[in-house]
Amino acid sequence: MSSKILHVLTPLLAALALTAPLAAPASSSAPASPPGAAAQVATAPAEIAAGPVAYAGTVYFTFDDGPSYTYTPKVLAVLRKYGVKAVFFEVGQNVSWYPSITRSLRYYGNKIGNHTWSHPNLTTLSTASVTWQLNRMESALGYRPRCVRPPYGATNSRIATIIANRGQRQILWTVDPRDWSRPGTWTIVNRVLANVRSGSRILMHDGGGDRSQTVAALNILIPKLRARGFVIGLMAC
């Protein structure tokens, strides 16, 4: 090639080199991140913490008609699982049959209440017979508890006076899921949750029949009540 031609082509080739685009990078299947995305990922929390649940009040579990050889230990196991204590209104005849179960309840911090010797309707008895029912239960128990629950909730001014004159408190309930009728585990749960309020005394049963539904419902109720902000307390009995 002549020097004259080279003299003409050299500046043209240099100009073309300066204006040619750079080679494109290898293609990727992932779309490009928007500006600032990396910073957002780096600063986002790994997990959003649940906010605190508002305090909804204190509620109390009570159990009637035990002790039962089969179901009272199962109720106790659920209570211990969640660190909950309750008042057990026991029938004296059952206490005399299963004293070790009553001792176990007390050992783990639960309270025992007087539910009479043989579970009669106290309003149909003479004053002397009412007194005998309460004394006989306490003889089997070995001491006088602070609280009495008349069977069936059957009471009147005479019964209330007899109990008060003994230096004891008559304790009824405010929430009754009728668990004794075995309506189904979730029926028991839903009845309690629909009616519970601050200060509620929840009636359940550990004796008097098949209480498997009660045990199952209790295992559901305790965490659900806590999730709603309730504290589960122990009555002074």
The answer to whether 168 touches 144, Cβ cutoff 8 Å, is yes
Q: What are 147's strand-pairing partners?
A: 169
The answer to whether 109 touches 197, Cβ cutoff 8 Å, is no
Q: Which of 65, 115, 179, 205 is catalytic?
A: 205
Is 7 annotated in the active site?
A: no
Terminal-to-terminal C-alpha distance of the chain: 117
Q: Which of 64, 65, 179, 206 is catalytic?
A: 64
Euclidean distance between CA atoms 168 and 143, whole angstroms: 12
Amino acid identity for residue 87 in this structure: V
- Write the CB contacts of 130 (distance below 8 Å, at least 6 apart in sequence): 122, 159, 162
Is 64 annotated in the active site?
A: yes
**Residues catalogued as catalytic:** 64, 205
